[in-house]
Amino acid sequence: MITSKLPNVGITIFTQMSQLAAQTGAINLSQGFPDFDGPQALRDAVGRHIASGHNQYSPMTGLPVLREQIAAKIARSYGVQVNADSEVTVTPGATQAIFCAIQAVIHSGDEVIVFDPCYDSYAPATELAGGRCVHVQLNPNDFSIDFDKLAAALSPRTKMIVINTPHNPSGALITRAELDQLAALIRDRDIYLISDEVYEHLVFDGVPHVSVLAHEELYQRAFVVSSFGKTYHVTGWKTGYVVAPPALTAELRKVHQYVSFCGVTPLQYALADYMAEHPEHVEELPGFYQAKRDLFCDLLAPSRFTFKRVTGTYFQLVDYSQIRPDLNDVEMATWMTREHGVASIPVSVFYQNPPEGQRLVRLCFAKREETLREAAAKLCVI
């Protein structure tokens, strides 16, 4: 009989809701992916590199030309210099980068602090490394860090803290003052940091993204993770990267080389070409997604859902307390899909212990205008 190493893990809610949407013909606003393609020039570049013979293994650390483009983008975006050779590693997706970072430094008995609601890959990766996740709830009103709770959760066994900004599922952003407060709290402790910044370029209303890359003190102990899939509308390419100081990068690469060894070669060449030819893409991305957020929220204004417009990511949380308070959020998401034709994600699945009485579901607005209009029309009659 098999003894599971992850006895509490089943099929993710994202898969479940996407399957239910497909079965019922519902509009899928659950799983976080666009229903439109990435830039034509980027897609054309893939075919060009496949045809030109770039189909064998890339270097384990990622193509040098792509790592150089990543370093150049970081310099433009955050005004800091990182070494493309010793600090940048290309991975098959951000989730793999997070997994490798955790495996690289977490030993049996170590504790990893995560903030609920949190992305679902952090805890399984920690458990597979022999560690234990300690869940600290964010403030329920604005999803900011409760530093009193964080301080109380620290112990001699704390080895890592995972932060996520812009935050999935809430869209909240971490401020520079909060990073300074975090730095002061762990300054004299041997604690590593993962900063999950896959939505770094999806920030709205003129508010800048505050990256750990630009926080000199925290960066010295950090793995900073990002995603080409989110930035270039190609989530199925499963290509991301992690930036870390040389000593941490060396440990991460020890794991990475035995998990996947390298990323997909022609995709890396195509991304390097597109980044060099279109550096303006990341600068235009906030406006592109803010327009979608604003359209979707304007369309939802007549509905009985209540919400505050998110400041980051491509997810909008909505409160259904005025509609079906008798249903928990898993029941509500299922009911909305089956009875009203719109699939969402219940926010409780991002918690170890969901707050009592919370009535929130997450909707993805990384969709074409006609998709958003059709979905909003259905939601407004609930």
312 in a structural domain: yes
> 229 and 322, same structural domain?
no
pLDDT for the residue numbered 194: 98
pLDDT for the residue 116: 98
Place of tokens 């045809």: 51
Q: Taking the model in full, what pTM does it have?
A: 0.97
316 and 349 in a single domain? The answer is: yes
Q: Where does a domain end: 222, 244, 277?
A: 277
CATH classification of the domain holding 321: 3.90.1150.10
Residue 46, in any domain of the structure? no
3: pLDDT strictly greater than 90: yes
Closest CA to 115 of 133, 131, 138: 138
pLDDT bucket at 11, cuts 50 / 70 / 90: confident
Residues 261 and 248 in one domain: yes
- Predicted pLDDT of residue 129: 98
**184, pLDDT greater than 90:** yes
What is the domain extent for residue 307?
13-38+281-379
Q: Which of 250, 277, 304 is the last residue of a domain?
A: 277
Tokens found for residue 194: 């993962």
Question: What's the mean pLDDT in 300-313?
Answer: 98
Same domain for 247 and 179: yes
In this prediction, residue 354 carries a pLDDT of 94
Question: Residue 245: is the preceding peptide bond cis (ω within 30°)?
Answer: no
- Model confidence band, residue 103 (pLDDT cutoffs 50, 70, 90): very high
193 located within any domain: yes
Confidence (pLDDT) at 13: 87
The DSSP annotation for 43-87 comes to HHHHHHHHHTT--SPPPTT--HHHHHHHHHHHHHHHS----TTTT
| Number of domains making up the chain | 2
The rounded distance, in Å, linking the Cα atoms of 66 and 162 is 26
In this structure, the answer to whether residues 273 and 309 fall within a common structural domain is no
Strand 360-364 relative to strand 345-346, pairing:
antiparallel
For tokens 């998990």, name the residue: 259
163 and 268 assigned to the same domain: yes
- On whether both 229 and 329 belong to a single domain, the answer is no
Whether residue 236 is found in the same domain as residue 366: no
Question: What backbone torsions phi and psi does residue 157 show, to the nearest 5 degrees?
Answer: -90, -5
Identify whether residues 213 and 259 lie together within a single domain: yes
Do 238 and 298 have their domain in common?
no
**pLDDT-derived band of residue 226, with 50, 70 and 90 as boundaries?**
very high
Do 291 and 177 reside in the same domain of the chain? Answer: no
Residue 186 has pLDDT above 90, yes or no: yes
Show which of 245, 277, 309 is a domain's final residue: 277
Interval 170-185 mean pLDDT: 98
Is a pLDDT exceeding 90 seen at residue 92? Answer: yes
Look over the chain and give the mean of its residue pLDDT values, rounded to a whole number. Answer: 97
**pLDDT attached to residue 12:** 87
Closest C-alpha among 43, 39, 38, 49 to residue 266? 49
* 134 assigned to some structural domain: yes
> Residue 199: which of 238, 231, 222, 224 has the closest Cα?
231
- The per-residue pLDDT for range 32-87, each reduced to its tens digit, is 999 999 999 999 999 999 999 999 999 999 999 999 999 999 999 999 999 999 99
Instruction: Retrieve residue 311's tokens.
Output: 């400041």
Residue 63 forms part of a structural domain: yes
How confident is residue 233, by pLDDT bands cut at 50, 70 and 90? very high
> For a pLDDT cut of 70, what percent of the chain falls above it?
100
Q: Is the pLDDT of residue 9 over 90?
A: no
- Answer whether residue 1 is part of any domain: no
Whichever domain contains 147, its CATH number is 3.40.640.10
Strands (E), the chain: 27-28, 88-91, 111-116, 132-137, 158-164, 192-196, 222-227, 240-243, 315-319, 342-343, 345-346, 360-364
Question: Which residues make beta-bridge pairs with 164?
Answer: 196
Question: Does position 202 have pLDDT exceeding 90, yes or no?
Answer: yes
Residue 43 forms part of a structural domain: no
Q: Residue 367 and residue 221: Cα distance in Å, rounded?
A: 37
Q: Are both 30 and 127 inside the same structural domain? A: no
What pLDDT digit, counting tens, does each position of 234-279 carry? 999 999 999 999 999 999 999 999 999 999 999 999 999 999 999 9
Inter-CA distances, 144 with 159, 233, 260, Å: 22, 28, 35
